[in-house]
Amino acid sequence: MHFTGTIWRPPYEADALIIEATAGCTHHACKFCTLYEDLPFKFKPSPLEHIKADLLEAQTWYHDPLRKAEERLFEMPKATLGRVFLAGANPFGLPTKRLLEIASLIHGSFPSCESIGCFARVTDVTHKTDDELHALAIAGFDGLTIGVETGDGEALSFMDKGYAAEDIVEQCARLDAAGISYAFFYLAGISGSGRGIEGARRTADVMNRTRPWLIGANMLTIYESSALHQEIVAGRWQEETETEKYEELKELVGCLKISTEFAMMGASNPVMLHGHLPGHREQLLDALNAIIHKVGEDRLRRYRTTLPHL
């Protein structure tokens, strides 16, 4: 398999076949981000030849009931492949023609594959026409994971995310119209010291006008190699305490009015949580309160400062 540098995927994509469609990030400018900094380039699409070779290799691991018997390399019973997750920070930023070529290769190798997911930036959607989004939906693209991070316009601008809060609402409505579902990543702490509650309220206002199947909260973890660290050293930005981040999350959970999964998963979360909103709102709030009062700032901070990488 062709993999370049560290590969990230959302926890809920654990059962998907991971195929590297791109390496790096087209944006590569968010101040807090240290992902993909090990790569000697900003962004690179994978050659189609690599993708073909990886799909061929993966055929030896899966049973595909729709593939002709004479095409199967092995006849031993194996798991059936239902989903492919394209690796890279934002493969959805590839031109539509290339994404359709990749989808065609996937369906050629795995006729029973039902859907193709990947990380996407809000701006990747902006750059596609409605017809292109529709064609991508027909080709199986579904369940994108979008790291919107926040609906707080000031934080988006300060962190150089490259889009405004209203863009999230506008572009997600276009995904809804095309029939492409999506999950959000939220970044607790992104609004900075003293602004977490306001950031959560602004985020809820944005997310309440969208239809994510899941909101996954990550916790801001600042590494010295980040541009955000330089902002802190220069005295232009101050980090929230760990318990402030959890108070912010309580505000977000309290203000979300949509029906969605809410989860805290992945390395940045010292405590993992998962529930459905609105049904599990009280249990989620109780759990967040317990983290604040029973785990406490010191232990949470120790986790944050000793986390070697995301």
- Interacting span for ligand SF4 (CB under 6 A) from 20-28, 62-70, 132-140, 206-214: 20-28
Shortest spacing between CB 11 and ligand SF4, in angstroms: 17
Shortest spacing between CB 274 and ligand SF4, in angstroms: 23
Shortest spacing between CB 35 and ligand SF4, in angstroms: 5
Site size toward ligand SF4 (CB under 6 A) is: 10
Select the residue interacting with ligand SF4 from 13, 20, 21, 27 (CB under 6 A): 27
Site for ligand SF4 in 227-256 (CB under 6 A): none
CB nearer to ligand SF4: give 17 or 25: 25
CB nearer to ligand SF4: give 147 or 196: 147
Distance of alpha carbon 2 from alpha carbon 49, whole angstroms: 10
CB nearer to ligand SF4: give 121 or 202: 121
Q: Which residues of 144-161 are buried (b: 16+ CB within 10 A; e: fewer)?
A: bbbbbbbbbbebbebbeb
Please spell the DSSP secondary structure of 11-50, one letter per residue.
GGGTTSEEEE-EEE-SS---TT--TTTTSSSSEEEPPHHH
Q: Which residues of 250-281 are buried (b: 16+ CB within 10 A; e: fewer)?
A: bbbbebbeeebbbbbbbebbbeebbbebeebe
Q: What ranges in 91-226 are assigned the alpha helix state H?
A: 96-109, 122-126, 130-138, 153-158, 165-178, 196-207
Omega cis (within 30) before 278: yes
CB nearer to ligand SF4: give 89 or 135: 89
Site for ligand SF4 in 93-152 (CB under 6 A): 121, 147
CB nearer to ligand SF4: give 90 or 96: 90
Question: Are 203 and 167 a contacting pair, CB within 8 Å?
Answer: no
Binding mask 47-86 for ligand SF4 (x = CB under 6 A): ----------------------------------------
Instruction: Give yes or no for residue 35 binding ligand SF4 (CB under 6 A).
Output: yes
- Interacting span for ligand SF4 (CB under 6 A) from 26-34, 134-142, 206-214, 255-263: 26-34
Shortest spacing between CB 181 and ligand SF4, in angstroms: 20
Rounded (10°) angle between helices 196-207 and 165-178: 30
CB nearer to ligand SF4: give 167 or 247: 167
Distance of alpha carbon 99 from alpha carbon 106, whole angstroms: 11
Shortest spacing between CB 237 and ligand SF4, in angstroms: 16
Task: Write out the residues near ligand SF4 by the rule CB under 6 A.
Answer: 25, 27-30, 33, 35, 89, 121, 147
